[in-house]
């Protein structure tokens, strides 16, 4: 199960490092009480799907991502956070290398 491509239509539940956080999937792949939702609008990362293998961080030519600690999260204890999503050049490298399809990229 990857990121919900319609996550942008879900409620915004917060803000983090200048980007929105969208409500978790209706049936997240982690326990609901530990669900973190999707971070980012242009570059969305489903924090509940992300396993933190780092391939997106390495592949991104414009440094969109930065590690963010998520201690105790069942999928991984850190996430690739799209803190610089405005720099995205829509090359889709991150989407193409993510082994769990946790990333979705769409122009604003």
Residue stretches of the annotated binding site for [4Fe-4S] cluster: 60, 88, 91, 94
The neighbouring-strand residues paired with 20 are 15
Per this entry, what is the length of the chain? 108
Which residues fall in the annotated binding site for [3Fe-4S] cluster? 50, 56, 98
3-state DSSP of 26-66: CCCCCCHHHCCCEECCCEEEECCCCCCCCHHHHHCCCCCCE
Which residues fall in the annotated binding site for Zn(2+)? 16, 19, 39, 81
Which residues fall in the annotated binding site? 16, 19, 39, 50, 56, 60, 81, 88, 91, 94, 98
Place of tokens 């999503």: 85
């Amino acid at each position: 199960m990857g990121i919900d491509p319609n996550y942008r239509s879900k409620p915004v539940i917060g803000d983090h490092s200048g980007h929105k956080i969208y409500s978790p999937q209706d049936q997240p792949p982690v326990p609901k009480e530990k669900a973190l939702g999707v971070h980012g609008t242009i570059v969305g990362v489903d924090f509940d799907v992300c396993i933190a293998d780092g391939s997106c961080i390495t592949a991104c030519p414009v440094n969109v991502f930065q590690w963010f600690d998520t201690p105790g999260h069942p999928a991984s204890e850190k996430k690739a956070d799209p803190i610089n999503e405005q720099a995205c050049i829509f090359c889709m490298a991150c989407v193409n290398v993510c082994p769990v399809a946790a990333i979705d990229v769409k122009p604003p």
